[in-house]
Amino acid sequence: MLNRNFTKAEFILNNENQYQLEFSIKEIGQGSNLTVERKNENGEYETIQAMITRLNDQIFIKWSEPFDGRLIFEK
């Protein structure tokens, strides 16, 4: 399994008032078996159920607020 860390600063507020991250299929594969983990105040990761959508060759991860975390995926 591979992972990609991300920070709060990478989130963009979309027109639905949700914060989202955008990845291409070239970066993380087809998008199957994605796991989103949020870093808590202790520096540990916890799995969350974020909304994940796909449009063309882009994959979007949406949440109500930006957070530091990581995306775990198979490529």
Q: What is the model's pTM? A: 0.86
Of the candidates 69, 50, 70, the residue with the CA atom closest to the CA atom of residue 61: 50
CATH number at residue 32: 2.40.30
| pLDDT tens by residue, 2-45 | 999 999 999 999 999 999 999 998 888 776 689 999 999 999 99
How many CB atoms lie under 10 A from the CB of residue 21?
21
b vs e for 29-51, b when ≥16 Cβ sit within 10 Å of the residue's Cβ? bebeebbbbebeeeeebeeeebe
Domain tally, the chain:
1
Query: Which domain does 44 fall in, by range?
Result: 2-73
Of the candidates 7, 52, 58, the residue with the CA atom closest to the CA atom of residue 33: 52
pLDDT in the model for residue 15: 94
Distance between CA atoms of 55 and 33, rounded to whole angstroms? 17
